[in-house]
């Protein structure tokens, strides 16, 4: 069930008072994102949280942006082994070689897709180019994956992406507003579903 926070706002019951997490919930999570480069960044970051909590990555997001050249796929695709070693010594990010190499592989796969079609068109095609609006009243009812995230995962893997399992893909879909998984009594759900006007 939604939680009434200290500021009097009903939000998804994420059991947190962390201002960074609450700001992310209020202003980013679940809001449709159509910018190809921002979608690429989020897909990479979601992969980085494998085996970790999202807040661990969220608090390091600016470090990741600085370390990975603002997630410019053209630059990342040309990273050398020396650059990877430099990243392995960067205490501001998760120093996991497989995950670092995954971002390099993802950049190359992204550029290959961009030669055929815009990445945002490719990504949004998995939900028919519009958000899927669910109606979950409590957080425990929200699934960890879906048929759409499974299909996305299979397709991305075939195209060379790494750390894109169906659960990671579903988290990515939630974060970028491809699905609206805010609880139905959360102010964001109502706003994003067009039933409540709220000035942010």
79-90 pLDDT tens trace? 999 999 999 999
Tokens of 180: 């609206």
**CATH number of the domain to which 186 belongs:** 1.10.340.30
For 107-125, what is the mean pLDDT?
Answer: 98
Q: Is the pLDDT of residue 198 over 60?
A: no
Question: What is the structure's pLDDT at 5?
Answer: 80
Question: What is the structure's pLDDT at 197?
Answer: 39
* 35 conformational bin, left if phi > 0, alpha if psi -120 to 50, beta if neither: beta
Domain count, the chain: 1
- Note the pLDDT tens digit of each residue in 136-175: 999 999 999 999 999 999 999 999 999 999 999 999 999 9
- Asked if residue 179 belongs to a domain, the reply is yes
- Asked if residue 37 belongs to a domain, the reply is yes
pTM: 0.93
- Note the pLDDT tens digit of each residue in 34-48: 999 999 999 999 999
Confirm whether residue 121 is marked as ligand binding: no
- Asked if residue 200 belongs to a domain, the reply is no
What share of the chain has pLDDT > 70, as a percent?
Answer: 96
The separation between CA 80 and the C-alpha centre of its own chain, rounded to angstroms, equals 26
Rounded to the nearest integer, the mean pLDDT of the chain is 94
DSSP of 59-79: TTHHHHHHHTGGG-HHHHTT-
Confirm whether residue 134 is marked as ligand binding: no
Neighbouring-strand partners of residue 179: 132
Instruction: Point out the residues that are catalytic.
Output: 24, 46, 54
- Asked if residue 19 belongs to a domain, the reply is yes
- Asked if residue 146 belongs to a domain, the reply is yes
More confident residue, 81 or 197: 81
Q: Is the pLDDT of residue 6 over 90?
A: no
Q: Is the pLDDT of residue 133 over 70?
A: yes
Question: What is the structure's pLDDT at 1?
Answer: 66
34/87 Cα distance (integer angstroms):
29
- Measured between alpha carbons, how far is residue 145 from residues 19, 71, 140, 156 in Å? 27, 26, 13, 15
Question: What is the structure's pLDDT at 199?
Answer: 35
Confirm whether residue 25 is marked as ligand binding: yes
For 88-103, what is the mean pLDDT?
Answer: 98
- Asked if residue 110 belongs to a domain, the reply is yes
Q: Is the pLDDT of residue 8 over 90?
A: no
Q: Quote the domain boundaries for residue 163.
A: 3-192
Confirm whether residue 44 is marked as ligand binding: no
Q: Is the pLDDT of residue 30 over 80?
A: yes
């Amino acid at each position: 069930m939604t939680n009434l926070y200290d500021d009097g706002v009903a939000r998804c019951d994420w059991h947190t008072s962390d201002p960074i997490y609450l700001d992310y919930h209020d202003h980013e999570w679940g809001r449709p994102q159509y910018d190809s480069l921002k979608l690429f960044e989020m897909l990479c970051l979601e992969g980085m949280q494998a085996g970790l909590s999202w807040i661990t990555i969220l608090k390091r997001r600016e470090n990741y942006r600085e370390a990975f050249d603002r997630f410019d796929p053209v630059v990342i695709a040309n990273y050398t082994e020396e650059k990877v070693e430099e990243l392995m010594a960067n205490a501001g990010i998760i120093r996991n070689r497989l995950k670092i190499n995954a971002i390099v592989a993802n950049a190359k796969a992204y550029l290959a897709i961009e030669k055929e079609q815009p990445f945002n068109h490719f990504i949004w095609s998995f939900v028919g180019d519009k958000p899927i609006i669910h109606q979950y009243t409590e957080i425990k009812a929200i699934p960890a994956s879906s048929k759409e995230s499974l299909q996305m995962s299979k397709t991305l893997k075939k195209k060379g992406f790494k750390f894109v399992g169906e659960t990671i893909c579903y988290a990515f879909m939630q974060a970028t507003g491809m699905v609206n998984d805010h609880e139905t009594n959360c102010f964001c759900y109502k706003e994003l579903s067009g039933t409540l006007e709220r000035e942010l």
